[in-house]
Every structure is written in C-alpha cells, then in structure tokens.
C-alpha cells in the first residue's frame, strides 16, 4: 500500500488501473487475514513452540510427545502434541485414574479421504460420542520434518458434565493410536487400539527455579552394586561417610540416581544423617530389618533427602538450604532404599541413590523436612472391599505449641506418600479449631507418581496450629484387611513437608490408641458369636485378618477411628519424643471446615455445533 501511494504522488496522471479481479483478490485476502486474527483472538492465541516449558513422552516408543504451558489468568492449559508417525489418527485425553471409560478426549481421525478433530467423551462401556460442547479448542495443526504438531487449548473447568475438571495434583493422561481409517467417531473401538497412560502434574506452580551458584559441588550417595533380594519388599541400608573436616554446607538441590533398568524396582529412597552424639558408626550394607544390622544405625534418622517414584529434581528456595557438615553434625549418613520386586526377579544388581548439590556459600535459613500423617502401625487398618475408606493422622496443637518457634515456620514444598491402595491425600492447616487452608492435596493421587511438589504459595505455620493429613484408600480388589506398615501391600499415609527455618521437630504423627482396638476385637467377637483370636501371641494383623467383614464390623471400625483417643508422636530427629503426655490424647475438635471449591466456569462460549473440525 505504501508503494502504491508513493507511486500515486509521483505520477498523478499515469496511475495504472487495477482490474476488478485483482482488487477483489486483494480485498478477500485482507478479509481472510482479519478473520484468522479474529479467530485466534477469540479462542486464545496459540503459543509459539518455545512457549511450552513442560514436556513428557506419552508412550514408551516416543511416538507421541506432549508439551504444555499453564495460563493462570486465562485458567487454561495450552497443549502441543507432536505425533511423530501419524497413521489414521490419535486419541488424547484425561480420566479419573487412566481408564478409557468415562474419559474426556480430543480425537483426530481419518476416514481415508478427510481428517477431523473433535472433542469427545466415552461412556461406561467405552463407546465414543461427540461432545455437545466443544471445549478442546484447536489452535493449529502443522507438519514438520519430525511429525505433525497439534496445538489446542482447554480451560481448567468447563462446567460440562462430560468434561474432566483439571485441578491441582496428579492428572492421568491417556492416549490411543489409530492404525486404520474409520468411517466415523463412533466406529472407533478403543479396546482394539494401541493405548496407554502417562501421569503428570499439569498445573505447575508459577515459580521460577533458582539458579545454582558458581561454587556448587555434587556428591552421590548410592548403593554399592547391591544384588536386589528376590522377594517382594526389601528395605536396604547402606552407611556412607563424609570426608574428614567437612565443614557446614547447604544442600540446594538433589535428585535421584537410578540404575538403568531398575526404574520399576526402586520405590523410594531416603538419606539420613546420624546422631552427632556418637563419634563413629559401624559400616553396614544389608537389609534394614536384618538381625545383623548394628543397633546404633537406628539413631541415623535426620532426613537430608527423600525421593519417591516419579519425583523430579528438587530445588530449595533462594533463601534456604539444608545444612549438613560442620560442628554438631555427624559425618555419617545412612542411605535407605525401598525395593519393590513383585515379580521376585533374581540377580538384579543396583547402584541407585541420591545425588546432592551443595554449596559452601550459606543461605539465610537452614531448611528441614518434617513428616506428617499416620504412624506406621497395624493399629490403623482398612477393611477389604472398600471403594473409599478414610484414615487421618494429626499433628496436634500441643505438639506445635511446644516444638515450633514463636515466629513459626514456612512450608515451601510437600511430598505425599502412600502405598498401592492410596487414592487421595490432603493436608489441611487448622488454627483455633478452624480450617485455614489446604497445604497440599491430590484428589487423583497415584502411588506410582510421587513427586516432591513446590507449593504455589508459602504456608506459614505457628505454635498452636494443627496439621491434619487424611488419606483415602480403595481395597475393592482385596480379600483381607490392609494394615499399616512398611510392606508394599501394607499402607502408609505420609506428607513430607519441606520448610524453614529448621526446628527440632522432625516427625509429628498419630495413631489410634491401641487399647481401643482391643475393645473393638472384643465387641466383634460378641456381636458375631465368633472367635477373633486375641491371644497375646497373635499379632494385630492376624486379628484383623480373622474379622468377619460385614456392615457392622466395617461401620464400627470407621466410627472408632473417628472418635477414639490417639497416641501422638511428637518426635525429635533422634526419634525421642518431646517431653509431655502424648498417650490417649483427644482428637482435635474442628468447629469450621473449609468449603469445597466450586469450579469456575469460563464465560459462555459462542455456540459451537457438536461436529468435528475438518483438517487438511
């Protein structure tokens, strides 16, 4: 246009006349450009390729690679799906626990002539249906040498009953690959396609990873080529030692070092520092429950690093680091590795462990790790055949009043942990009997994806506050009771809090008073006119195994956990409780609970037909 105007001013009498066809072509080109800009503005602009900071392969072969970013102002997730070898189409979506039934899906398929993209859902039988509300918004599709890129957008909440609500915590992503064209969406048989799932935390907190200082050093605490025992559950202990004269440093990052091929066997790992009161510790490399393990190793309980399956590298905030080394700090460390070997594989060797990143440039605050939830005890149990059974552990106001500084502590990260029956975990902060805020929650928790997650905002906890951790379990596939304990078929309910400044409080947990469990077994005996053996020689797990599980025995146990006094473990790193009376403590009383969050619906979208979008 500028050149046209310039030409007009220079030669006012000799302007070339444009043919009507050329003028019309220019006009419609400008209109088309305007419409593209308008559609992008209305649907949300498509981010550039380098605007997707999070990436994960969906399938083991790497045919599908998902990248995404999170827009909290828009309350939406932008996805970029790379399909390396496009065949007849792909399915991508979300469901409660990775099922293909009752799933929320974006589908790309071909009928052999044309290709289509649409928002769909599957019913309880796995049959696909086009969604009447198209909430997967296609932003673009382009071919590249590496494959086909699909860009699409999805709001956190759509208020469509057929859609998945994207929320904090674990999201089970599902995928499927269509090998042959289909004449319609309804013709896709999801049971006959190559499919799978990947677990991610979609809603990453909007915080930056601190840069590592120039003087950062690394140290690996790893198992010394251990032969993994051919049994389902093993806790392996290995003693390591810091160099002589190792002065105080701050750990500012750590990550797992997993021996290739053992990713499915290493369930979780911890590095403990030993008590400084002992000048030396015997070397040991063997099972943690072995009678040959020196008794002194039980005093190595100060957590330096904790990793569980699925966790990524962990960074401390710029103002804090985890102290180790120097006066008052033991040179001895204990690595504990939990091997889960359900196939009882033999001869597998392992040198897994944890890599520490540390600096001599100390940060303003020493950080710590505090363990919340339930004590590892069979007193806490889940009946078989339960679809949703809750157990709660308490860090009481009495413990925080005694153990926390007047200025309180600041929680910046959290790692939730259960074994295989865990389905949900939540920790709530309560003050003066009123729930204040959720510290961390995962409504779609999976024991196969346990990350240490940075919190979206730092949580302040003061003396007299309570931290209440509740776990929800599913035992529908089990025929006998599941008791608390260390075995993978036993259960845990734990939240590892990462906080600063460091205090002496390392463990703040509870369990029901054992005396009330004895009364429970006695009552069940009288009600059922059966003999649940309560001999001193019979363990609590075996007493639970002999309970006849009917509605009465289930309801009474559930009620008992809701009112019976508790034994509180308000422990220092030496495993010694703080002074005080901790047995038969009353359950905390809550007079006000937090309201369940209400999904925020996006503005009413423009009417969109329940039809797929044709693609070139």
Burial class (CB in 10 A: 0-12, 13-18, 19+), 33: exposed
> What pLDDT sits at residue 50?
58
| Cα–Cα dist 522/535, whole Å | 12
Q: What's the pLDDT tens digit per position in 12-27? A: 434 344 454 444 444 4
| Cα–Cα dist 481/357, whole Å | 42
| Cα–Cα dist 411/204, whole Å | 17
User: Residues 607, 612, 613, 616: what is their CA dihedral angle, to the nearest 10 degrees?
Assistant: -170
pLDDT over 90, % of the chain? 66
Q: What's the pLDDT tens digit per position in 81-103? A: 999 988 899 999 999 999 999 99
Rounded average pLDDT over 541-569: 95
Among 298-312, 356-370, 522-536, the range scoring the smallest mean pLDDT is 522-536
Q: pLDDT grade, residue 2 (50/70/90)?
A: very low
Strand partners, 245: none
| Catalytic, out of 249, 340, 417, 498 | 417
Q: What's the pLDDT tens digit per position in 163-186? A: 999 999 999 999 999 999 999 999
Read off the DSSP letter of residue 399.
Answer: H
The answer to whether residues 270 and 306 touch, using CB atoms and an 8 Å cutoff, is yes
- 138 compared with 596, residue with greater pLDDT: 138
For 392-409, letters b (16+ CB in 10 Å) and e give bbbbbbbbbebbbeeebb
Q: What's the pLDDT tens digit per position in 497-514? A: 999 999 999 999 999 999
Q: pLDDT grade, residue 79 (50/70/90)?
A: very high
> What pLDDT sits at residue 276?
84
User: Residues 92, 94, 95, 101: what is their CA dihedral angle, to the nearest 10 degrees?
Assistant: -20
Burial class (CB in 10 A: 0-12, 13-18, 19+), 276: middle
The answer to whether residues 91 and 107 touch, using CB atoms and an 8 Å cutoff, is yes
Q: pLDDT grade, residue 210 (50/70/90)?
A: confident
Q: Is 302 a catalytic residue?
A: no
Burial class (CB in 10 A: 0-12, 13-18, 19+), 20: exposed
Long-range contacts of 31-40 (CB under 8 A, 24+ apart): 40/139
Has residue 4 got a pLDDT over 70? Answer: no
- 177 compared with 613, residue with greater pLDDT: 177
| Cα–Cα dist 483/391, whole Å | 11
| Catalytic, out of 54, 235, 516, 545 | 235
Phi, psi of 200 (to 5 degrees): -145, 165
For 180-216, letters b (16+ CB in 10 Å) and e give ebbeebeebebeebeeebbbbbbbbeeeeeeeeeeee
Name every residue whose Cβ is closer than 8 Å to that of residue 34 and which is 6 or more positions away in sequence. none
Residue 610's Cβ-side half-sphere holds a number of Cα atoms within 13 Å equal to: 8
Among 2-11, 127-136, 335-344, 403-412, the range scoring the smallest mean pLDDT is 2-11
Has residue 522 got a pLDDT over 80? Answer: yes
The answer to whether residues 501 and 461 touch, using CB atoms and an 8 Å cutoff, is no
> What pLDDT sits at residue 536?
63
Q: Is 194 a catalytic residue?
A: no
Distance of CA 274 to the CA centre of its chain: 29
Element (H, E) at 339: strand 332-340
Q: Is 583 helix (H, G, I), strand (E, B) or coil?
A: coil
> What pLDDT sits at residue 395?
98
> What pLDDT sits at residue 534?
58
pLDDT over 70, % of the chain? 88
| Cα–Cα dist 48/288, whole Å | 51
Q: What's the pLDDT tens digit per position in 245-301? A: 899 999 999 999 999 888 778 878 889 989 888 888 999 999 998 989 998 998 897
Rounded average pLDDT over 211-238: 93
Burial class (CB in 10 A: 0-12, 13-18, 19+), 554: middle
> What pLDDT sits at residue 464?
97
Q: Which among 246, 245, 225, 247 has a CA at the least distance from the CA of 236?
A: 225
- 29 compared with 68, residue with greater pLDDT: 68
The answer to whether residues 361 and 316 touch, using CB atoms and an 8 Å cutoff, is no
What domains can be seen in the chain, in order of their start residue? Answer: 54-204 (2.60.40.1210), 210-363 (2.60.120.310), 366-513+567-596 (2.60.120.230)
> What pLDDT sits at residue 604?
59
> What pLDDT sits at residue 33?
38
């Amino acid at each position: 246009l500028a050149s046209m105007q310039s030409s007009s001013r220079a030669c006012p009498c000799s302007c070339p006349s444009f043919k009507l066809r050329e003028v019309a072509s220019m006009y419609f080109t400008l209109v088309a450009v305007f419409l593209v800009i308008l559609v992008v503005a209305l649907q949300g602009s498509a981010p550039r390729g380098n605007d997707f900071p999070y990436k994960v392969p969906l399938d083991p072969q790497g045919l599908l690679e998902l990248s995404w970013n999170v827009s909290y102002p828009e309350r939406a997730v932008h996805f970029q799906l790379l399909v390396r070898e496009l065949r007849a189409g792909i399915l991508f979506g979300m469901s409660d626990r990775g099922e293909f039934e009752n799933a929320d899906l974006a589908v790309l398929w071909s009928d052999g002539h044309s290709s289509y993209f649409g928002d769909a859902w599957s019913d309880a039988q796995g049959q696909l249906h086009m969604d009447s509300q198209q909430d997967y918004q296609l932003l673009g599709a382009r071919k590249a040498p590496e494959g086909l890129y699909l860009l699409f957008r999805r709001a956190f909440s759509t208020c469509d009953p057929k859609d998945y609500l994207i929320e904090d915590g674990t999201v089970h992503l599902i995928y499927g690959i269509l090998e042959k064209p289909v004449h319609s969406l309804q013709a896709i048989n999801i049971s006959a396609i190559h499919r799978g799932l990947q677990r991610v935390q979609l809603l990453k907190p909007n915080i930056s990873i601190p840069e590592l200082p120039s003087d950062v050093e690394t140290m690996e605490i790893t198992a010394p080529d251990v032969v993994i025992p051919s049994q389902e559950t093993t806790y392996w202990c290995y003693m390591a030692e810091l160099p002589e004269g190792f002065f105080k440093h701050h750990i500012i990052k750590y990550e797992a070092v997993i021996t290739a091929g053992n990713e499915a066997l290493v369930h979780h790992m911890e590095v403990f520092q030993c008590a400084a009161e002992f000048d030396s510790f015997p070397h040991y490399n063997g099972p943690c429950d072995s009678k040959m393990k020196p008794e002194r190793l039980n005093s190595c309980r100060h957590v330096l690093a904790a990793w569980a399956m699925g966790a990524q590298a962990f960074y401390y905030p710029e103002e804090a680091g985890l102290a180790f080394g120097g006066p008052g700090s033991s040179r001895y460390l204990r690595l504990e590795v939990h091997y889960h070997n359900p196939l009882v594989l033999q001869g597998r060797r392992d040198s897994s462990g944890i890599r520490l990143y540390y600096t001599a440039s100390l940060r303003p605050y020493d950080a710590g790790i505090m363990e919340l939830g339930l004590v590892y005890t069979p007193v806490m149990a889940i009946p078989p055949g339960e679809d949703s059974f809750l157990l709660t552990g308490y860090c009481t106001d009495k413990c925080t009043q005694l153990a926390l500084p007047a200025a309180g502590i600041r929680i910046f990260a959290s790692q939730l942990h259960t074994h295989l029956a865990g389905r949900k975990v939540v920790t709530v902060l309560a003050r003066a009997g009123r729930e204040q805020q959720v510290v961390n929650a995962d409504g779609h928790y999976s024991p196969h994806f346990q990350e240490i997650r940075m919190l979206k905002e730092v949580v302040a906890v003061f003396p007299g506050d309570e931290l209440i951790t509740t776990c929800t379990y599913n035992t529908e596939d089990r025929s006998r009771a599941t008791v608390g304990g260390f075995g993978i078929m036993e259960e845990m309910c734990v939240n590892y809090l990462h906080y600063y400044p460091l205090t002496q409080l390392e463990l703040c947990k509870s369990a029901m008073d054992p005396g009330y469990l004895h009364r429970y077994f006695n009552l069940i005996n009288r009600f059922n006119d059966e003999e649940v053996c309560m001999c001193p020689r019979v363990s609590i797990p075996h007493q639970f195994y002999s309970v006849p599980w009917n509605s009465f025995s289930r309801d009474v146990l559930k009620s008992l956990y809701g009112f019976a006094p508790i034994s509180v473990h308000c422990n220092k790193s030496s495993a010694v409780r703080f002074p005080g009376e901790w047995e038969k403590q009353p359950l905390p009383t809550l007079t006000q609970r937090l309201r369940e969050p209400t999904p925020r619906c996006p503005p009413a979208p423009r009417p969109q037909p329940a039809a797929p979008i044709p693609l070139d």
